[in-house]
């Protein structure tokens, strides 16, 4: 691409991951979609994206890390969807520094799409509100509106019902084996538990939280579970090995989402040097809000 059509690069912007503190399947709709409950929590492990406005209307992308993504990844699809929804004549060159592991259940692709929508709304001067961006984002994936919403959330329905909640500051360790597991195979499995008892925000709220919006981490980690985990472990035994490794360090691990990453709250420092060399091991902290929360209005 010619330098003559590349204006000043924006500062890089983050696309944070999320952890599912629990994931219960409560039933299944007639159209096959599963009804779930979860708490989505933002963490400070992020992809990073760069955006350069193009006056020629072209949407292009380059990989800024060793990870090579499909040409039509979610950041490109998000830019295209925003152009189609608004009729914007401008284009963009996206530089994607992919730092989150694939097939982890941490929402990496959805977060990239959300950050793209938020950043281009600002770069292109479109002035769309957060709900308008979320409507576009929902076409790209069920988790995209969560990242656009920018707050930790109690999630229900098929993932579209979001209620903001607060989560106390804490440290976590995330472990991802190299193998993944097919989300489609997990949800299609006849072994998948689909009748977990419906929970309430108040049931997981801190005792001093009268409005039920402050989540008690200990309650949710003790009383909650991930209904997808047994099926995922059968498809990818490394999930169980990761959990056993965490147990060996005195930690209670749990799978996040439908990927193969597992996590545990980290009440003390630990040395992960004994983890297998092909595992990705990362310590991270939760976040109160998305770093780009103030980039669009409600």
In DSSP terms, 151 is beta-bridged to 289
Percent of the chain's residues with pLDDT above 90: 87
Whether residue 177 contacts residue 105, with contact meaning beta carbons closer than 8 Å, is answered with no
Q: Considering the candidates 143, 216, 227, 238, report the single residue annotated as catalytic.
A: 143
216 is catalytic: no
**54-82 pLDDT per residue, tens:** 999 999 999 999 888 888 999 999 999 99
> And the tokens for 180?
């993944």
In DSSP notation, 9-70 reads PPPPEEEEEEEEEEEEEEEE-TTSPEEEEEEEEEEEEEEEEEEEEETT--EEEEE-SS----
143 is catalytic: yes
Q: In the predicted model, what is the mean pLDDT of the chain? A: 93
CATH class in words for 3-165: alpha beta
Closest to 62 measured CA to CA, from 91, 114, 13, 97: 97
State pTM to two decimals: 0.93
Residue for token pair 């219960």: 24
Q: Which residues are annotated as a binding site for ATP?
A: 101-111
CATH class in words for 171-285: alpha beta
User: Residue ranges per domain, the chain?
Assistant: 3-165, 171-285
**268-292 pLDDT per residue, tens:** 888 999 999 999 999 999 999 999 9
What pLDDT is attached to residue 9? 53
Long-range CB contacts (within 8 A, 24+) of 211-216: 213/163, 213/164, 213/165, 213/166, 214/165, 214/166, 214/167, 214/168, 215/21, 215/39, 215/152, 215/154, 215/165, 215/166, 215/167, 215/168
């Amino acid at each position: 691409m010619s330098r003559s059509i590349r204006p000043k690069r924006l500062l890089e912007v983050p696309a944070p991951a999320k952890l599912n503190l629990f994931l219960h399947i409560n039933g299944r709709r007639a159209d096959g979609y599963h009804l779930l409950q979860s708490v989505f929590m933002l963490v400070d492990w992020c992809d990073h994206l760069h955006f350069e406005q193009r006056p020629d209307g072209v949407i292009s992308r380059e990989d800024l890390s060793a990870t090579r993504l499909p040409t039509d990844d979610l950041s490109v699809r998000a830019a295209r969807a925003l152009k189609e929804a608004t009729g914007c004549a401008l284009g963009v060159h996206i530089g994607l520094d992919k730092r989150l592991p694939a097939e982890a259940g941490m929402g990496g692709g959805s977060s990239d799409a959300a950050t793209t929508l938020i950043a281009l709304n600002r770069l292109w001067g479109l002035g769309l509100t957060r709900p308008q961006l979320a409507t576009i984002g929902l076409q790209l994936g069920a988790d995209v509106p969560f990242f656009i919403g920018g707050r930790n959330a109690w999630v229900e329905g098929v993932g579209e019902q979001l209620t903001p909640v607060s989560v106390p500051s804490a440290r976590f360790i995330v472990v991802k084996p190299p193998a993944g597991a097919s989300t489609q195979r997990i949800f299609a499995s006849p072994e998948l538990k689909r009748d977990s008892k419906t929970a309430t925000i108040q049931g997981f709220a801190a005792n001093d939280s009268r409005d039920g919006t402050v989540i008690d981490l200990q309650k949710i980690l003790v009383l909650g579970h991930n209904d997808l985990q047994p099926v995922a472990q059968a498809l990818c035994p490394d999930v169980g090995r990761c959990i056993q490794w965490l147990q060996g360090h005195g930690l209670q691990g749990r799978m996040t989402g439908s990927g193969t990453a597992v996590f545990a709250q980290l009440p003390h420092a630990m040395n992960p040097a004994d983890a297998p060399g092909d595992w990705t091991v990362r310590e991270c902290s939760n976040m109160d809000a998305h770093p780009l929360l103030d980039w669009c209005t409600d």
